[in-house]
Amino acid sequence: MMPPQRRRSLAGPLGLAVLTLIALTAALAPLLSPHDPMEQDITRRLLPPVWLGGVPEYPLGTDGVGRDVLSRLIYGSRVSLLVGLSTTALAGLMGVSLGLAAGYFGGGVDALLSRLSDVQQAVPFLVLALAVVALVKPGLLNLIAVLTVTTWVNYFRVIRGAVLAAREEEYVWAARALGCGDARLILRHILPNVAGPAVVVATLLMANVIIFEASLSFLGLGVPRSLPTWGRSVADGRDYLVSAWWIALFPGLAIMTTVAAINLLGDWLRDRLNPWRRR
Amino acid sequence: MGRYILRRLMHGLVVLAGVSVLVFALLHVSGDPVAVLLPLDTPPEEVARFRHQMGFDRPLPVQYLFFISRAVRGDFGYSYHYRTAALPLVLNRLPATLRLTGAALAFSVLVALPAGLAAALHERTPLDLSIRLAVLIGQSAPGFWLALLLIAVFAVRLGWFPVSGARGWRSLVLPAVTVGSFSLAALARLLRAGLLDVLAQEYIRTARSKGLSPRQVMIHHALKNAAIPVVTMLGLQVGFLLGGAVIAEEVFAYPGMGRLLVSAVGHRDLPVIQAFVTVTATLIVLVNLAVDVAYGWLDPRIRQG
């Protein structure tokens, strides 16, 4: 085996910087937006971006009912980040604790949870989320709940595997021989081993969750209509693909940039947390 | 080998039994199924009659047994919206979706293979960088948006392909590219990483020092070993392909079962949703069974484990 070798890569820090910018935009949305994202002005509909003959008042143009594209873009980051972060955190809490329990205690709990995760893997996340979203009331909290219970298995599988490996380490046996209890053993000796994989799963999952939320919003599901989202803005531009392409183009670019930044950060973290994998 | 296949088959059946519980539970996620199925202003006596008629006043295990005994016979009830049996409605659209996902898979493998190979062979050159950038874009661009871009450029501006529908192979191209792009990126990336890992191994150096050309080393030694994780990945990609097909079918008005799902979700057409989830899960279980069997055949260690 070759010795671990760190390559200096700008991709990870770049991803982090872009994400920080997007998070700042979301936090400061009311200060940054030139207009109310829901305000319609029929007299100023379908204005092109300013460099294509639009007006400086609407830098990225307006949509089919005269709403400011830039303001909707800025506010849209809020839903994407909120849903992405909270789903990733809640699914992580659920998946990591259940993965720890299943991997550490084994037996019936493990068998049951593993079958459950097999079952969930047999249904595509998007399909399951669509099916459940159809039946619950639309709303941010319900959407986050649905996405959490459809994605926790991502953590569960990885964490369970990592625990199974860590459980057989000599220092774990040593700690047990010294009379260390289950709770302490899990928290002090096993949890640190699975933190790295959990962080890697979290970044990859967050990228996917943001795409899921955007897809559901695009289909008009999940997030209530009163909130501007990137997915719904793309859907708004669907009827104007040729005549007013800016309506659909910019929110799509925003989703892509956010997800790409998370992916870059995730790859970088994976390399850092796993010294034996250089690439 | 026979016992191994039998074991995997049993596992598949257990998973499908679990899926049936999940599908049954869908009706109850919202709390009261009657509230989902009937309009809000239904008079109370009407609600009570409906509850009794549908069996919702019985204990849950009884309701499940009733559900599963009909489901194994292919009876998921009637679609609320189309007023015909739900399962045939889904199955009739299955071939179109299989054509789409098949084309998407073929597209992603056919492009990912040379792309991953070229990137690994020319590591850290402009070619490698541009392939990696394309991979990043493919992984990050949402399918519905990519679909709209493709429509705007290739269907409307250039007029090479139809905007929507399913008439001939031309109407399959843009949806297949949309659905396949995510898998394409994932496969190309995995292949590149796998090849680079394998190329750093001792036996590759041995093969090189024997005087084999880089091309021979790549094909005979590296590609075979790098293909193993790629095959595993293909099994996992089926779920992503079917999920992606739902979006692409909706955008391209492609008459597959994914479009049916979206309309069923809009109408809260539960029997169709339940039939769809069951059919999709069965497909995925079958594909995974095939991958498991292929694996056991390729690698004797697995079938003994």
Inter-chain contacts counted by CB atoms under 8 A, chains A and B = 153
Q: Which fold would CATH assign to domain B95-256?
A: MetI-like fold (1.10.3720)
Total-model pTM? 0.90
Q: What is the pLDDT of residue A212?
A: 94
Question: The complex's ipTM?
Answer: 0.90
Q: Do B149 and A252 touch (CB under 8 A)?
A: yes
State whether residue A241 sits within 8 Å of chain B by CB: yes
| CATH class of the domain defined by A69-273 | mainly alpha
Nearest chain A alpha carbon to B194: A279
Q: Which residue of B has its CA nearest to A130?
A: B265
Residues 100-119 of A with CB under 8 A from B: 115-116, 118-119
Could A126 and B197 be called an inter-chain contact, meaning their C-beta atoms sit closer than 8 Å? no
Query: Stretch B223-251: mean pLDDT, rounded?
Result: 83
- Print the SS3 string covering chain B: CHHHHHHHHHHHHHHHHHHHHHHHHHCCCCCCHHHHHCCCCCCHHHHHHHHHHHCCCCCHHHHHHHHHHHHCCCCCCECCCCCCEHHHHHHHHHHHHHHHHHHHHHHHHHHHHHHHHHHHHCCCCHHHHHHHHHHHHHHHCCHHHHHHHHHHHHHHHCCCCCCCCCCCCHHHHHHHHHHHHHHHHHHHHHHHHHHHHHHCCHHHHHHHHCCCCHHHHHHHHHHHHHHHHHHHHHHHHHHHHHHHHHHHHHHCCCCCHHHHHHHHHHHCCHHHHHHHHHHHHHHHHHHHHHHHHHHHHHCHHHHHC
A-chain residue closest to B241, CA distance: A124
Q: Look at A256 and B145 and tell me if their CB atoms are within 8 Å.
A: yes
Residue spans of the domains in chain A: they are 69-273
pLDDT digits (tens, 9 = 90+) for B115-155: 998 998 888 899 999 999 999 999 999 999 999 999 999 99
pLDDT digits (tens, 9 = 90+) for A160-174: 988 988 888 888 888
Residue in A closest to B202 by C-alpha: A1
- B11 vs A118: CB contact, 8 Å cut-off? yes
Q: Does the pLDDT of residue A69 top 90, yes or no?
A: yes
**Chain B residues with beta carbon closer than 8 angstroms to that of A143:** none
Confidence at residue A279, expressed as pLDDT on a 0 to 100 scale: 41
What are the sequence ranges of the domains in chain B? 95-256
